Structure 1
């Protein structure tokens, strides 16, 4: 081989070996996720921040109203019977705030559990007609039996919510139901039931006056009796939903995989349906059909927690009442000297927020 050829070959070989032995070129990519222990620490810190946000909005809910209370006087107004604002706080604002806490927690947890159970990101107590079923049952009870606000109203609401839950599942195909069919069945039943409620209200003038604010969604009529009646149903439903968090995670892998992990799919579904019925029925009976709370909050929370329901449900239990009570406070501020009903505010805020969330979410394409 000529000297020049050997020299060129040696140069080429050395260059090739240097390329092979050198570290590969690093391309831009997302930073690797933190280790599990650090992720758990981040989520726990976020849960603490959510709890602080809830405390802050509770204080605002007690302080803001027709007669504002300075923030420094909120604690004395809660604890000192001789304070000037003690009667106003305990008779009006504290029950309203507690009811907002219960209803927000119920709707947020029910929405997250429903989305996990149906594997449908649009599943919501409102969109699937469960709230409409409770509203239709209450309107029927008011028209036929003269049932007003009270324990009887809650039982009718629970029966209506349970009936529509079973109806949506049956119309959607039963065991062969798909997320799309469940959404279509829920939308159809939702429209039919709200048309029925409107017809009942038009037929009964007295009922129209009683149910006018309730059908919009309101916390204004809260009192201690309402809070006491709703609390047991929300507590039982919340405990059932939280207990089903780990089995629901297994169920997300499919029925066969869930059985291999020791879960019982039929029992899990039954327990979650009971929890959703209790949560939605109690919240709707007390506050009326509130929209977007159970749909929007789980989507926002997944940005922080991912799909793990062991973290998703506690976050929703804290942040959903933040949204509901914050909307109620905003309605009092914007509607002075009156107020805007909280159902109107959540609808106005929820629509744009959900559209923004959809546009910000990246979906995988095949």
Structure 2
């Protein structure tokens, strides 16, 4: 009797490993850094006064070059301040949206920039403060007070996106009306602050950059340290505690970070809108809601937007220039409307 051999056992080929999302995100971040470097180089090269690229390069590298003063005293500090302020506004907007779970949270729309501006205007009118070193302390105080006020008026721990937006809009309108009144009633304050209130990088110098850089660096570090626990907090306080996060500490860290970032950036550049609102939404389409990736992307791409707007303002109105706050306001509105119409605004 013949024995029928069993059919050969077929061993299924192992499934190919799923591509990890880390590599594409890291590659995208590297491309973003290269884009930022290109825009920074463009900011140094392009100005209200046209200079050949060779002359700019000579002025950047050689102290005895005729263009050294233009490059090192005007364009280079302006570019560095744009890098720092853009990163600060982008990261501040991202952590605020994550904390409040409000896709409209933004240092401008929630009144935080207006609080810093009101404090600086008060200091300029009553004390005569006109330097960035003096303004930065008042700006951070104003930003901290308004951050706490919006959070409390919006309902504290039970705040809803609608209540936070309404509280921020009310405080924003009130504080900017106050700033306008101070400037109209005090001619000296008007002279000191008329370009600053629009949002400008034009008055940047190396002392301004050195004054605000430590505050902005500290704010960025605090925000990055809060990224992982903020991810847990998005699941709710109970789930966050189960994952080892401390909700009260996380909220405190975010408030400190936003105060440092918005206060220092506003003291140096004035209130600039739409950067902190628009960039996190654009970045979230690339990274998803994970703040460990969202914040580094915002820190790189928000300066791209700010410096790009600044270069555009210099080119459009030669031999004068449009202030960067005006350009971001004009560009930001249509861009955000396009983003909303293209797809629903992603919730943080």
Mapped pair 1:170 → 2:152: yes
1:78 matched residue in structure 2: 60
How far, CA to CA, are the matches of 1:218 and 1:164 in structure 2? 22
Note if contact 2:125-2:188 (Cα within 8 Å) is conserved in structure 1. Answer: no
Shift of 1:175: 2.0
How far, CA to CA, are the matches of 2:19 and 2:58 in structure 1? 41
2:50 matched residue in structure 1: 68
How far, CA to CA, are the matches of 1:150 and 1:51 in structure 2? 29
Mapped pair 1:104 → 2:104: no
2:296 matched residue in structure 1: 314
Note if contact 1:216-1:289 (Cα within 8 Å) is conserved in structure 2. Answer: yes
Partner residue of 2:134 out of 152, 156, 163: 152
How far, CA to CA, are the matches of 1:357 and 1:212 in structure 2? 32
* Structure 1 runs, 4 residues or longer, greater than 6 Å off: none
Partner residue of 2:305 out of 315, 318, 323: 323
How far, CA to CA, are the matches of 1:187 and 1:35 in structure 2? 49
The Cα offsets for residues 97-132 of structure 1, whole Å up to 9 and x where unpaired, read as: 111111100000000010000000000000000000
Note if contact 1:291-1:343 (Cα within 8 Å) is conserved in structure 2. Answer: yes
How far, CA to CA, are the matches of 1:36 and 1:262 in structure 2? 29
1:129 matched residue in structure 2: 111
Q: Which is worse superposed, 223-232 or 80-89?
A: 80-89
2:333 matched residue in structure 1: 351
Note if contact 1:219-1:342 (Cα within 8 Å) is conserved in structure 2. Answer: yes
Shift of 1:236: 0.2
Change (3 A) 1:257 1:346: same
How far, CA to CA, are the matches of 1:349 and 1:194 in structure 2? 21
How far, CA to CA, are the matches of 1:242 and 1:68 in structure 2? 39
The Cα offsets for residues 135-159 of structure 1, whole Å up to 9 and x where unpaired, read as: 0000000111111123111000000
Shift of 1:37: 4.6
Q: Which is worse superposed, 217-226 or 66-75?
A: 66-75
1:22 matched residue in structure 2: none
Change (3 A) 1:244 1:37: farther
The Cα offsets for residues 51-75 of structure 1, whole Å up to 9 and x where unpaired, read as: 0110111111111113333335544
Change (3 A) 1:66 1:159: same
2:121 matched residue in structure 1: 139
How far, CA to CA, are the matches of 2:93 and 2:178 in structure 1? 24
- Give the unaligned 5+ runs of structure 2: 1-15
Note if contact 1:59-1:71 (Cα within 8 Å) is conserved in structure 2. Answer: no
- Give the unaligned 5+ runs of structure 1: 1-33
Count of residues in Structure 1 that have an aligned counterpart in Structure 2: 331
Quick check: which has more Rg, 1 or 2?
1
Change (3 A) 1:68 1:317: same
1:88 matched residue in structure 2: 70
Change (3 A) 1:363 1:100: closer
State the TM-score, normalized to the length of structure 2: 0.92
CA RMSD of aligned residues (A): 1.5
2:41 matched residue in structure 1: 59
Partner residue of 2:210 out of 210, 219, 228: 228
Mapped pair 1:250 → 2:232: yes
Three-state SS of the structure 2 residue aligned to 1:38 is coil
State the TM-score, normalized to the length of structure 1: 0.88
